[in-house]
Amino acid sequence: MKSLLLDRSTWDLSLDANGNLAVCTEPYAVLQDVACAIRVFAGECWYDTSKGLPYLTAILGRGQTASAFKTQAEAAALTVPLVSTATCVVNRVGVDRKLTGAIQITLTTGETLSVGLS
Give the CA-trace dihedral at 11, 13, 19, 23, to 10 degrees.
100
Strand pairing partners for 41?
53
Segment-wise mean pLDDT, segments of 10 residues, the chain, 118 residues: 91 94 95 92 87 83 78 94 95 72 95 89
Question: Which of 118, 62, 117, 55 minimizes the C-alpha distance to 86?
Answer: 117
Q: By three-state DSSP, how is residue 114 classified?
A: strand
pTM of the model: 0.85
Distance CA 14, CA 85 (A): 29
Distance CA 16, CA 34 (A): 22
- Rounded to a whole number, what is the distance in angstroms from the first to the last CA of the chain? 26
Distance CA 108, CA 63 (A): 35
Architecture of the domain spanning 2-117: Roll (3.10)
Contact between residue 51 and residue 37 where contact means Cβ atoms under 8 Å apart = yes
What does the domain layout of the chain look like in residue ranges? 2-117
Specify the pLDDT at position 85: 97
Distance CA 34, CA 15 (A): 21
Specify the pLDDT at position 93: 65
